[in-house]
Amino acid sequence: MQLFPADLVDLAGGRGNILALVKHFYDMSFADPILGVLYSDKTVPHHELFCRWFFYAVGDDKEGPSIRKVNASHKKAQHCPLRTNAPAEAGFIGDGFTWNQRNRWILMQLKACEDFRMPLGFVRDYIHGLCAFMGVYGPFTQARPGENM
C-alpha cells in the first residue's frame, strides 16, 4: 500500500516547499511542552531526516533512510531525560509515545500546513498518509497518572 499519492510533492509546489513546511513543523514541535521533550538535541536537522523518509515514501527518491537509524532515533526520543520534568501528557522516560503526543504530533502537522496555506488536496492526502503510518510507533501509552491534564 502506498501511503501517499505520487503527485503529492508537485501538489505542494515542490520539494523546497515540503522542506520548509516540515522545518516549520519541527520548530513548533521543539517549542511544544509535550513534544519538545522528545528531542534531546534540537540541532540535528530533523526536518531533513523526516523529508528523506517522506520523499522515499511518496516515490520521489529511490533510497530511503536506514530503518535501523530511524528506530534508534525513536527509541532515543522515548528515553529522553527531558520527559522527567515535562507535563503528564509526555509520559514516562523509557515508555512508549503517549496518545497525547501522537495527537499533538498530527495537530502540529496540520498547523504547519495551515500556516503555509497548503492546498486542501495536499493536506488531506499528507495527513491521511501520516495517520495511516502512525501505528508503527505504538502501542501508545497513557499520560502519567495522578496529575491534572
Residue pLDDT, tens place only, 131-146? 999 988 889 999 988 6
Residue range 62-104, pLDDT digits in tens: 887 777 787 788 888 899 999 988 999 999 999 999 999 999 9
Residues 45 and 56: their CA atoms lie apart, in Å, by 17
Per DSSP, 37 falls in state G
Domains and CATH numbers, the chain: 8-137 (1.10.490.10)
Of 81, 75, 67, nearest to 96 (Cα)? 75
Alpha-carbon gap, residue 135 to 140, rounded angstroms: 9
pLDDT level of residue 149 (50, 70, 90 thresholds): very low
DSSP secondary structure string for all residues of 81-143: GGGGGS-GGG--TTSPPBHHHHHHHHHHHHHHHHHTT--HHHHHHHHHHHHHHGGGG-S-BPP
Cell numbers found for residue 9: 510533492
Residue 125 in this model has a pLDDT that exceeds 80: yes
Lowest mean pLDDT among 4-13, 83-92, 119-128: 83-92
What's the residue count for the chain? 149
Tell me what percent of the residues of the chain surpass a pLDDT of 70: 97
